[in-house]
Chain A
Amino acid sequence: MPSPYLPSTEADRSAMLREIGVGSVEKLFGDIPEGLRHAQFRLPSPLSELELKKELNRLANRNASLDNYACFLGGGSYRHFIPATVEHVIGRSEFYTAYTPYQAEVSQGTLQSTYEYQSLICQLTAMEVSNAGMYDGATAAGEAAIMACVATKRNKVAVSATVNPTYREVISTYVKGRNFPMETIEPGCRLPADCACLVAQQPNFFGHLEGMEAHARKAHDAGALFVAIVDPISLGMFQPPGQYGADIAVADGQALGNSMSFGGPGLGVFACGQQYVRQMPGRIVGKTVDVDGNPGYVMTLVTREQYIRRERATSNICTSEALMALAAAVYLATLGKSGLKRVAELCYHKAHYAADRIARLKGYSLVFPGPFFKEFAVRCPVEPTEINRMLLKKGIIGGLDISHIMGDTMVLCVTEMNTKEEIDKLVEILGAL
């Protein structure tokens, strides 16, 4: 059957070969040594759209979709409500089939919406500048650590022990890549001398809110930058990084209108103070005018980037997550100031309702005192793996098992997606164990 994705006809091909002046297509591959250009491939036979759709549906149905399960799992990927506007905007092929906007005159849609994204992120984080987005929260944190080293001309990176362990691993990969040392700092400990930055997370890995102002002071007293990893949804309710002295703020923007999609694509939110803009990694869009004086947008400060600066670039990043940044912009604009506050408050109150009820169950206790947002650590009377197995049978995806860090402990996450009924059912099952 002819491929639906190849528009050429046999007649076209013959005509083109005549123009080129070769007898066959094989002749076009003549530079490739004869022994190398007839490789054999063991791949499944092709299937039609109809057949393959069926097969992929079957594969998808083997997964426990959270459309059918109650979910109390967080740990870096979050189930939040996605307004219909988001899918409809990013589903427009003018957006999703475009390339990186090098030809600004025919890319104003991408460029202007990126300018909107940068502005919305600045408003949300209370930081001065934002780039156009990076891969995910963890790699953005890794890039932030490297940027702090360049900005301070130091090379030691300090990461708080309460930062998500996966983030710490990725930061370590990035820092080690440059042959820089990284240290993990326990709460209350001093920073190493000559340290380039302190990286902390708000809320931290266990869901709790930390004293970020004190962290910032500690970093600044040591002449280091303060890098804050934040939950963007929490900023609808809680103090933003720009107000507690963060020099660089990063986040995973998945929660802002992007489906979990088994963890990717995510979105690396990256914002910083004005004085560091020329050390920032990634694309940045700026407003300017055209030759007629009309406003327009371009990729700017490009001398930071790999395609201009090569090995002296601030990062190697090229293709990133532009469409996810567009989704985040549409999400923030759809919810607006009241909507985002409402989502954050729903998470907060529902999570506290759940925590309060679970803490009253025999054998369960909250590990940490003090304020939290939508995640909290619970010590359980039974192994969390066992609990999660039971919950799965009853249509619930349980919390994040962190027994390898703290015995018999799980981190539960409650968002606006969880109804009171779901929470009550969770509590009931936990109580019956």
Chain B
Amino acid sequence: MSHHYLLPDISQPGKVGCSLPALDVPPAELPPKELLRQELELPEVSEVGLMRYFTALSKLNYGVDTGIYPLGSCTMKYNPKWHEDVARLPGFASIHPLQPEKSVQGALQLMFELQEYLTEITGMHATSLVPLAGAHGEYTGLLLVKAYHQDRGDKARKKILLTDSSHGTNPASAAMCGFEIGVVASDSEGNVDMTSLESAMNEEVAALTLTMPTTLGLFDPRILEISRLVHERGGLLGADGANLNAFLGRVKFGELGYDYVQLNLHKTFSTPHGGGGPGSGPVCVKENLADFLPSPLVAKSDGKYKSVSPAKSIGRIANFWGNFGVMCKAYAYIRSLGAEGMKEVSEDAVLNANYLRAKLKPYYYLPYDRICMHEVVFSGRRQKAKGVHTLDIAKRLLDYGLHPPTVYFPLIVEEALMIEPTETESKGTLDAFIEAMKEIARDAEENPEILHTAPHNTPVRRLDDVRAARNPDLRWRMGR
């Protein structure tokens, strides 16, 4: 197959992929030899060789432009093309982060306005755009929680509560902030188990982090009661805002009682995921946490935009201002949609998810049989009884040219299949997905072998993960 070669295989001595200018100044004396590099072995490839290689690789990928990408908790929606162009305008792409502020007023204005928009969208008091991805924003939020309690001299609060359905980054971020973890159970309806919360919520708890809607794709109707309990006992309430697509333009986190929320511009605000980044994870906070926000923030005074550092800032969490290129795209998205457009987004996102729920329910077990929000979580346990696993179902979908949903998450659902269609899929696409899922359910009964051996027509077939981990081959080598 054409892609089964690597850069060293097409490297030829003396080739180069671009031309460079000649030296136009007199050469300087070289530094002592022991500082200099003796050997540098990098591939030598012509421009055409290089472009064909990476073009061949790109064709092995599935992207949102290829088709539906219903990864639950990931919000893989379509990325408007011209928003990409915005980030590439020379006035945005070719500016240095440490240029005099006077020379970057346009960039600072964009950031200032984006801070304001996100503050308004979440119903909060202030926003930091610095966090570089969702987990980084979550980490920032927890550093704010830590600083808040320390500032009050409350040293006992060493624990973060999270739910048993939470994303893996939630506990990992808490650990990075030096917190212990406490887990709150979900009840049979998929909501927070109030008895569990009641007993866990004590004077050692710094905050409860609760994704809303939860990672089961459900809105917890007792959110105000939860918020009241947490605050009465001196804790803060934080949201992983990964699921904002469910109520964009309808509900404000601030009104639900949250003290902070981290957003994912690369999910809700339609900036592309890039195969694993760049993301952007702004943190929006209530007044009680605003003084602790990381620096820099963008402020406006006398019609000029400038950077400021909040009074009790947790300090710097990244090199510069945040992922500005991503902010440009999210800004364009918000201005393209306006408040009404955002409401339409959540309307279609929730409608699409419920349509899948209704149509697939006869074929797959639905552990929480109620109206869902922007995503629906099924279980493959009916198929498992026939010896077919969720992994087989996912791999079989690839044979239909469809990207599978998130699988085996959340952890509290056996053989989980977490489907998030997003608002940018048409009914026609959803129907094709439903048909494929129905056929797979039938094959699980009648022809399970075809599922066990799937996929059959992808660039590679099922890969040996165990071999990869046991004998790690993580690079090629050239030269000595």
Min CB distance A394 to B, Å, is 13
Asked if B387 lies at the interface with its beta carbon under 8 angstroms from chain A, I say no
Min CB distance A283 to B, Å, is 7
Min CB distance A151 to B, Å, is 16
Identify which of B3, B14, B94, B169 gathers the most chain A CB atoms within 10 Å of its CB.
B94
A337 touches B474 (CB 8 A): no
| Interface pick from A168-176, A190-198, A216-224 | A168-176
Cα distance A113–B54 in the bound complex, in angstroms: 8
Cα distance A312–B464 in the bound complex, in angstroms: 25
Asked if B311 lies at the interface with its beta carbon under 8 angstroms from chain A, I say no
Cα distance A298–B460 in the bound complex, in angstroms: 11
A65 touches B176 (CB 8 A): no
B64 touches A105 (CB 8 A): no
Chain A residues, CB < 8 A from B98: 73, 75-77, 263, 400
A285 touches B474 (CB 8 A): yes
- Given A85-B50, A261-B87, A318-B135, A306 and B172 contact (CB-CB distance below 8 Å): yes
B424 touches A6 (CB 8 A): yes
Q: Nearest A residue to B346 by beta-carbon distance?
A: A29
Chain A residues, CB < 8 A from B276: 99-101, 110, 132, 283, 319-323
- Given A60-B90, A77-B98, A300-B469, A307 and B61 contact (CB-CB distance below 8 Å): no
Contact mask A100-123 → B, CB, 8 Å, 1/0?
111111111110110110111011
- Given A283-B276, A337-B41, A39 and B252 contact (CB-CB distance below 8 Å): yes
B473 touches A173 (CB 8 A): no
Contact of B28 among A97, A178, A352 (CB under 8 A): A352
Min CB distance B403 to A, Å, is 7
Min CB distance B474 to A, Å, is 5
B316 touches A25 (CB 8 A): no
A263 touches B320 (CB 8 A): yes
In chain B between 255 and 286, which residues have their CB closer than 8 angstroms to a CB of chain A?
255-256, 264, 266, 270, 272-279
Chain A residues, CB < 8 A from B412: none
A41 touches B339 (CB 8 A): yes
Identify which of B28, B96, B97 gathers the most chain A CB atoms within 10 Å of its CB.
B96
Cα distance A21–B370 in the bound complex, in angstroms: 12
- Given A29-B350, A39-B250, A39-B252, A98 and B63 contact (CB-CB distance below 8 Å): yes
Chain A residues, CB < 8 A from B324: 261-264
Min CB distance B228 to A, Å, is 13
In chain A between 1 and 27, which residues have their CB closer than 8 angstroms to a CB of chain B?
3-9, 12-13, 15-17, 19-22, 25, 27
Q: Nearest B residue to A58 by beta-carbon distance?
A: B106
In chain A between 329 and 346, which residues have their CB closer than 8 angstroms to a CB of chain B?
330, 332-343, 345-346
Min CB distance B413 to A, Å, is 15
A356 touches B28 (CB 8 A): yes
Chain A residues, CB < 8 A from B175: 311-313, 316
A316 touches B221 (CB 8 A): no
B64 touches A339 (CB 8 A): no
Interface size on B, residues (CB 8 A): 204
The binding surface of chain B is classed by DSSP as loop
Cα distance A366–B432 in the bound complex, in angstroms: 69
Cα distance A297–B60 in the bound complex, in angstroms: 12
Sorting the interface of chain A by its residue count into under 10, 10 to 19, 20 to 34 or 35 or more gives: 35 or more
Asked if B351 lies at the interface with its beta carbon under 8 angstroms from chain A, I say yes
A32 touches B95 (CB 8 A): no
Contact of A323 among B34, B274, B351 (CB under 8 A): B274
Task: Count A/B pairs, Cβ under 8 Å.
Answer: 669
B95 touches A64 (CB 8 A): yes
Q: Nearest A residue to B53 by beta-carbon distance?
A: A333
Cα distance A284–B465 in the bound complex, in angstroms: 12
- Given A5-B80, A240-B37, A295 and B176 contact (CB-CB distance below 8 Å): no
Contact mask A256-280 → B, CB, 8 Å, 1/0?
0001111111100000000001000
B178 touches A179 (CB 8 A): yes
Asked if A83 lies at the interface with its beta carbon under 8 angstroms from chain B, I say yes
Chain A residues, CB < 8 A from B95: 63-66, 260-262
In chain A between 51 and 70, which residues have their CB closer than 8 angstroms to a CB of chain B?
52-53, 55-69
Asked if B385 lies at the interface with its beta carbon under 8 angstroms from chain A, I say no
Q: Nearest B residue to A174 by beta-carbon distance?
A: B176
B319 touches A235 (CB 8 A): no
- Given A31-B219, A105-B458, A109-B59, A3 and B344 contact (CB-CB distance below 8 Å): yes
Cα distance A75–B355 in the bound complex, in angstroms: 53
B465 touches A260 (CB 8 A): no
Contact of A99 among B273, B335, B345 (CB under 8 A): B273
Cα distance A261–B325 in the bound complex, in angstroms: 6
A106 touches B252 (CB 8 A): no
With A99-B69, A264-B320, A264-B322 known, 10 other A-B pairs at CB within 8 A are A52-B335, A57-B91, A64-B104, A237-B37, A260-B97, A261-B92, A262-B104, A289-B464, A298-B463, A306-B172
Q: Which 6 A-B pairs have the closest CB atoms?
A: A263-B320, A263-B97, A60-B91, A62-B106, A322-B276, A323-B274
Sample of 12 A–B contacts (CB below 8 Å): A3-B345, A42-B120, A60-B106, A118-B474, A124-B40, A170-B319, A261-B87, A264-B326, A265-B323, A318-B169, A322-B276, A322-B277
